[in-house]
Amino acid sequence: MINIRPVSDLRNKFPEIEETVIGSNTPVFLTKNGYGAMVLMSIEQYSALTDDIERNLDEADAFAANSSIRLSKSDVFDKIRSRVDEQAKL
């Protein structure tokens, strides 16, 4: 279940929000004046989202350090667009 709270709860009910985020391992969505403002999540949740990206970036850095191949920005985006278009056709 999505947990949506006003941002004032962060100040007024921090222990409760902390227990929700850490205890249930689910993010809490905070609103300000009725609009989404931010999302709170545990370090474990954040790591689960970013670890794979960080690992891939590290691999790309290692490849770049050992390769003389360089692509222009337009080459990179053209390759990405073609892959997205291929996926859209499936």
For 29, the domain range is: 3-41
pLDDT for 11 beyond 90: yes
Query: Both 51 and 83 in a single domain?
Result: yes
Q: With H, G, I as helix, E, B as strand and everything else as coil, classify residue 38.
A: strand
At 75 the pLDDT is 93
CATH code for the domain of 33 = 3.40.1620.10
Query: Both 30 and 64 in a single domain?
Result: no
Give residue 89's pLDDT band: very low, low, confident or very high (50, 70, 90): confident
Considering its fold, how many domains does the chain have in total? 2
At 34 the pLDDT is 92
**pLDDT tens digits, residue range 12-65?**
999 999 999 999 889 999 999 999 999 999 999 999 999 999 999 999 999 999
Q: What pTM was estimated for this model as a whole? A: 0.64
Query: Both 52 and 81 in a single domain?
Result: yes
The candidate with the shortest Cα–Cα distance to 38, out of 22, 27, 26, 48, is 27
At 27 the pLDDT is 94
Query: Both 80 and 64 in a single domain?
Result: yes
